[in-house]
């Protein structure tokens, strides 16, 4: 299941994000969306967790949690249809 994580503190690293979600299960991939011009985080990213139950536990436990200076929002990422 692919999760969208929004409202991340701009100082949050991919490793911190990965470690946060690893508490709830296997993390298949983790990536922050970076600004091409500045190289800084845009404040959101994606985490993929192969097991639906683990992903749902991560959503339940991490949504509205404070990470850094911000309350993050975690939800299932919508599939983009081309």
* pLDDT tens-place string over residues 28-77: 999 999 999 999 999 999 999 999 999 999 999 999 999 989 999 999 99
Domains annotated on the chain, with CATH: 2-75 (3.30.70.330)
pTM reported for the whole predicted model: 0.92
Task: Count the Cβ atoms, other than its own, within 10 Å of residue 69.
Answer: 9
- DSSP labels, 51-75: -HHHHHHHHHHHTT-EETTEE-EEE
Confidence of residue 81 (pLDDT cuts 50, 70, 90): low
Mean pLDDT confidence for 9-14: 94
> Which of 82 and 68 is assigned the larger pLDDT?
68
Nearest to 43 by CA among 53, 33, 51, 52: 33
> Which of 80 and 41 is assigned the larger pLDDT?
41
């Amino acid at each position: 299941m692919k999760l969208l994580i929004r409202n991340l503190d701009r100082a949050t690293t991919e490793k911190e994000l990965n470690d946060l979600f690893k508490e709830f299960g296997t993390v298949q991939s983790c990536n922050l969306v970076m600004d091409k011009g500045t190289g800084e985080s845009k404040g959101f990213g994606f985490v993929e967790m192969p097991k639906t139950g683990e992903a749902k536990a991560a959503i339940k436990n991490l949504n509205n949690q404070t990470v850094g200076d911000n309350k993050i929002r975690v939800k299932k990422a919508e599939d983009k249809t081309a």
